[in-house]
């Protein structure tokens, strides 16, 4: 299979694409792959680190208000379609896959114009503007949250696959990694984590809770995010931390430590949810209210209504609320089991294989 993949801007669009590519390689189904992105997003650095061929196009997102910037954006969009057409003609893919972000709009739309089979993947419970636009033109729409189905009018195109990222972590087992951070692997541990860059509101509340956390029988692994770490260190100078609390800026290869967690507290991005549900890790979500269409809240609500997680809206996040919620879960083994069981029910451990089946069937149908 020769495939072009496009998605960018955030890791939530890039990592599912990368998971799909890796699974195709593992199954020896991939003859060739090309990733098309921009130089302004994260994708070039991440994809080239994986030694995957990468080409960049110049494009920017549309603003909601009309301005001169809108004219410039439209100009770049038209030019990016021309560039994408040339890339597709040169590469001759069997299928083109878009995983979100404005860069995928021109690549997938160009493939549609050239009558190349097309698939988009929507990771969130609220469809992005790019995927809503592309949904009118593509051959198949793969999705991870059932709540998103009503946001696409082309119901016959919809196929549930889950998030390919889930399959990358589904087979991970506890591996005693807590010892790497000076913690005891056999003691229940909560990880508090605001994403790769960290989240200031979560950090602020956690700092205010450290004295109380130090008195608990469970352990706390507080991941600040690299950009916040030095500032957090300054703020905790006067706090006497217990041996059960460790603070780190970031954890490389984060998924590998998840099976060792009794509880994870953090944001509710699509990638995080895919990983946590694949492993059945009890979670408390604090959705970011700053993302488009408040989709993290919708993501979290999908789990809360299935009794697979708890949620604390950021505006209600206090030290008392955080402590009370963590204590509630870690002191109640029945609640932990219920959250873990229901979370695992929502996981899709074969998500990449499901998406590959969609691609294979589409290619056969359109030959």
**Domain-wise residue ranges, the chain:** 2-166+349-366, 177-346
Fold matches, 2-166+349-366 and 177-346: yes
Quick check: helix, strand or coil at residue 308?
Answer: coil
Instruction: Find the mean pLDDT for residues 172-201.
Output: 93
Binding residues for UDP-N-acetyl-alpha-D-glucosamine: 10-12, 124, 196, 251, 296
Q: Is the pTM of this model over 0.85?
A: yes
CA gap 139, 161 in Å, rounded: 15
- In the prediction, which pLDDT does 70 show? 59
- In the prediction, which pLDDT does 72 show? 66
- In the prediction, which pLDDT does 61 show? 62
CATH superfamily of 2-166+349-366: Glycogen Phosphorylase B; (3.40.50.2000)
CA gap 99, 335 in Å, rounded: 35
The dotted CATH code for 177-346 is 3.40.50.2000
What's the pLDDT tens digit per position in 284-314?
A: 999 999 887 899 999 999 999 999 999 999 9
pLDDT tier, 253 (very low <50, low <70, confident <90, very high otherwise): confident
Binding residues: 10-12, 124, 196, 251, 296
What's the pLDDT tens digit per position in 24-61?
A: 999 999 999 999 998 877 888 889 889 999 999 987 66
What's the pLDDT tens digit per position in 118-140?
A: 999 999 999 998 999 999 999 99
Plot region of 28 (φ>0 → left; ψ -120 to 50 → alpha; else → beta)? left
Alpha helical stretches, state H, the chain: 11-26, 43-49, 68-91, 103-113, 129-134, 165-169, 200-213, 229-235, 270-279, 295-304, 319-330, 333-346, 351-366
Instruction: Identify whether the C-beta of residue 157 lies closer than 8 Å to the C-beta of residue 135.
Output: yes
pLDDT tier, 186 (very low <50, low <70, confident <90, very high otherwise): very high
User: Higher confidence at residue 41 or residue 320?
Assistant: 320
Q: Which residues have a Cβ under 8 Å from the Cβ of 88 and sit 6 or more positions away?
A: 4, 96, 107, 110, 111, 114, 116
- In the prediction, which pLDDT does 53 show? 96
């Amino acid at each position: 299979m020769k495939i072009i993949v496009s998605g960018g801007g955030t890791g939530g669009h890039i990592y599912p694409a990368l998971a799909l590519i890796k699974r195709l390689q593992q199954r020896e189904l991939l003859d060739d792959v090309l990733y098309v992105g921009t130089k302004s997003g994260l994708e070039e650095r991440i994809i080239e680190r994986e030694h995957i061929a990468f080409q960049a196009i110049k494009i920017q997102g549309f603003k909601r208000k009309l301005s001169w910037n809108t004219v410039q954006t439209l100009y770049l969009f038209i030019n990016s379609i021309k560039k994408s057409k040339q890339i597709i003609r040169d590469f001759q893919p069997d299928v083109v896959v878009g995983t979100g972000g404005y860069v995928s709009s021109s690549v997938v739309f160009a493939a549609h114009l050239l009558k190349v089979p097309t698939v988009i993947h929507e990771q969130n419970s609220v469809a992005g503007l790019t995927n809503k636009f592309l949904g009118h033109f593509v051959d198949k729409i793969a999705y991870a949250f059932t709540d998103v189905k009503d946001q696409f009018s082309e119901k016959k195109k919809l196929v549930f696959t889950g998030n390919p990222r889930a399959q990358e972590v589904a087979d991970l087992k506890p591996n005693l990694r807590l010892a790497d951070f000076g913690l005891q692997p056999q003691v229940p541990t909560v990880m508090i984590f605001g994403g790769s860059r960290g989240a200031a509101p979560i950090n602020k509340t956690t700092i205010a809770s450290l004295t109380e956390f130090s008195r608990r029988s469970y352990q706390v692994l507080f991941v600040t995010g690299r950009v916040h770490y030095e500032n957090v260190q300054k703020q905790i100078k006067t706090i006497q931390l217990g041996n059960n609390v460790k603070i780190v800026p970031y954890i490389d290869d984060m998924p590998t430590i998840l099976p060792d967690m009794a509880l994870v507290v953090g944001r509710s991005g699509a990638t995080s949810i895919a990983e946590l549900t694949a492993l059945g890790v009890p979670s408390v979500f604090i959705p970011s209210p700053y993302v488009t269409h408040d989709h993290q809240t919708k993501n979290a609500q999908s789990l809360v209504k299935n009794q697979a997680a708890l949620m604390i809206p950021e505006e209600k996040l206090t030290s008392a609320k955080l402590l009370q919620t963590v204590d509630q879960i870690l002191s109640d083994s029945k609640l932990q089991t219920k959250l873990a069981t229901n979370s695992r029910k929502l996981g899709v451990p074969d998500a990449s294989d499901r998406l590959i089946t969609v691609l294979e069937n589409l290619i056969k149908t359109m030959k």
